Structure 1
Amino acid sequence: MTTTRNPGLEDVTDVRAVPRRSVGQSLLASGTVLALVLLIIFFFAMRPDVFLSFTNVRNILYQVAILAIIAGAQTIVMVVGDFDLSVAATAALAGSVAASLMLGGVPVMVAILAGLAVGLLIGLVNGALVAYLNLSAFVATLATLTSVTGLAFLVTGGTTLFKMPAEFDNLGQGRILQIPFPVFIAIAISLVLWAVLRFTTLGRRWYATGGNVEVSRLSGVNVRRVRLLAFTIAGLVSAFGGILLAARLGSASAVQGSDNLLFAVAAVFLGMTVARSGAANIPGTMVGVAIIGVMSNGLNILGVNSYVQQVVTGLIIIAAVTLSSLRTRER
């Protein structure tokens, strides 16, 4: 094990510095990427005229752009060893608040900022409950999920909001070089989150806290503040994803994008098998997002029943958790 010394962070164990991979670790890590490659080859073989066409690849990227943002938010929380069940609900409420304000005549930018503020507040509440009141992250965010969903129904009146300004819809439906805006935004957010985790002191503190809370505390890390920041940023990023989803669909509802929670969790667990440390990480999460996107798109192209797709989704989640568990044992 090595230690990383930074101003204000002394003798914190660098959880990313681990011994050389065993054969089992290498197989698990490469297996996730290999699974993605095999999926692409399989669906291309089944529908070579469609699957890898520019239009379909663009559709896949468009479909997973919001999921990539939500999964990025979940990754931040899981890096510190916690869990956030409210990311999808936060996204739905943020989108609903922004849409409701715009329909009430509020300028688009002000409405978007209000939606982001909602996500920030929810993240702060989650962080305070977990870091300062010592509640279980699962219990705290489950309670938040329920409350936030109720608030979203109140904001929308239990209906679907639509007919937002064209300026707002263009944020989710516009294109640059035939590539939808959400794809570029998702890439930008993912790169920012990756840079924070990889190159900043805050990122190293997050990893250190996720690796060993007690050692981090004894090394001078303000663990409570670090966990609070993780949940707060996750809430903000989730809100951005929800607002972008509302713009993409041209509508907002209390249950919009609810499936993104399970998909995000699966993506993060799949991504944990890619990292050498076995910890949550942005590049690995994006591989997981790609697997889910390719699988969903491929099954749709093949005309597979939507109920069968739900079964497959469940199996993906089981496989993701199992692989992550095996990866942890290999450490």
Structure 2
Amino acid sequence: MKVITQINRLLGAEVLPLAGALILVVAAFSLATPLFLTIANFSSMAFQLPVLGLLTLAMMVPILSGGLNLAIIYTANISGLTLAAILIAFGGPDAGIGAFALGVVAALLVGALSGMVMGLVIAYIGAHPILVSLAMMIFLRGLGEFLTRGSDISGFPDFMAPIGHGLFFGVPVPLFIFLAAAILWHVMLRRSRHGFSVFMIGSNIEASEYSGVPTRRTLTLIYTISGIICAAAGILMAARFNSVRVGHGEALLLVTVLACFLGGLDPFGGFGRVIPVVLALMILQALSSGLNLIGANQHLSTAVWGLFLIAVMAIRRAAGHLSIFARGRG
């Protein structure tokens, strides 16, 4: 019992239930198809998870602050387009490391600028995060379609391939990138003053202002960092697919929100941890891969994710009522 209490205190009360759910999903699909428990399948999952994981981290912190960033997909894509444009300008497949480094810096700056604009409007004008991020999403989508005329940009240097497809000690390079970002997120939220301010704002922004928390600066920084991590996802997508398109990853927006709520984040902000969200991502990736292996239609995965979101919200609501009832009886 003490071990369970320690795990709940250090990692979050959601970790053990999510770990159990992950084991059940893996066991169910391993019985459904012999292809699930194979190195090829786990390798495929390890390559697919990082992009979704980075986008989920980009969604996570705005939700913790009581907001939302609906522009994560198009921020990632416009950042990827920025990298692609610079590479094409310097020769496309013949572009050198210097051009790639310049493109990465430019892509990160574009992502940061997109997030900063949203943060400034939310913090200093007081507009609702949903409306601001929706407006930014529409703007970035329109801008991307205008610049590319709806087509793909492809033809990148060969040295980019290991970023999206390479292995390091047998582990996919993209997975290392995601795990490094997740660890950084965990440390930032649990060990930094900024992380403390994020939770304070999510719990009660008015009380935070009276407590001396720099709410406007923190909100601006929240969305700026979200934009930077989106840009990292866009760079990873460009390396993985060897092309960039405005519509890449459109279906992932729902999944990032689902992963956050499945991982125990309060939809109104103020509570959540990184590790349960990572476990939630693993569950969703296992579901997607398992359904694909048993021959289910790709759109069925999206439908299952939507049902999962409804179920999670219903279960959490019911658990809240039971908790209130139990306290009343006590």
Give the shorter-chain TM-score range. Answer: 0.7 to 0.9
Does residue 98 (structure 1) correspond to residue 90 (structure 2)? The answer is no
Does residue 129 (structure 1) correspond to residue 121 (structure 2)? The answer is yes
Identify unmatched segments of 5+ residues in structure 2: 1-7, 325-330
CA distance in 1, matches of 2:263, 2:77: 25
CA distance in 1, matches of 2:291, 2:275: 25
Give the corresponding residue for 1:7: none
Q: Out of 173, 176, 189, which is 2:181 matched to?
A: 189
Superposition pairs of residues 164-183 of structure 1, within 5 angstroms: 164-183=156-175
Contact 2:164-2:174 within 8 A present in 1 as well: yes
Which range moves more in the overlay, 167-176 or 118-127?
167-176
CA distance in 2, matches of 1:80, 1:154: 33
CA distance in 2, matches of 1:173, 1:153: 27
CA distance in 2, matches of 1:190, 1:202: 16
CA distance in 2, matches of 1:230, 1:204: 12
The alignment's TM-score, normalised by the length of structure 2, stands at 0.86
Give the corresponding residue for 2:287: 295
* 1:272 match: secondary structure: coil
Q: Out of 250, 268, 289, which is 2:260 matched to?
A: 268
Q: Out of 39, 43, 47, which is 2:25 matched to?
A: 39
CA distance in 2, matches of 1:54, 1:327: 38
**1:77-130 C-alpha deviation (Å, 9 max, x unpaired):** 111111110011101111111112111117111011111111000000110111
1:272 counterpart letter in structure 2: G
Alpha-carbon distance change, 52 to 273 in structure 1, aligned in 2, over 3 angstroms: farther
Q: Out of 67, 89, 111, which is 2:103 matched to?
A: 111
Give the corresponding residue for 2:148: 156
Once the two structures are TM-superposed, the CA of residue 297 in structure 1 deviates from its matched residue by 0.2
> As a proportion of its length, which structure holds more helix?
2
Give the corresponding residue for 2:309: 317
CA distance in 1, matches of 2:202, 2:265: 16
**1:39-75 C-alpha deviation (Å, 9 max, x unpaired):** 111011112x321222211211111111111101111
CA distance in 2, matches of 1:35, 1:278: 25
1:37 counterpart letter in structure 2: I
CA distance in 2, matches of 1:178, 1:160: 31
CA distance in 1, matches of 2:66, 2:231: 21
CA distance in 1, matches of 2:233, 2:316: 26
Once the two structures are TM-superposed, the CA of residue 328 in structure 1 deviates from its matched residue by 5.8
2:216 counterpart letter in structure 1: R
Superposition pairs of residues 1-331 of structure 1, within 5 angstroms: 30-47=16-33, 49-105=34-90, 107-272=99-264, 279-326=271-318, 330=323
- Structure 1: which 4+ aligned runs deviate by more than 6 Å? none
Alpha-carbon distance change, 137 to 325 in structure 1, aligned in 2, over 3 angstroms: farther
Identify unmatched segments of 5+ residues in structure 1: 1-20
* 1:82 match: secondary structure: coil
CA distance in 2, matches of 1:264, 1:245: 16
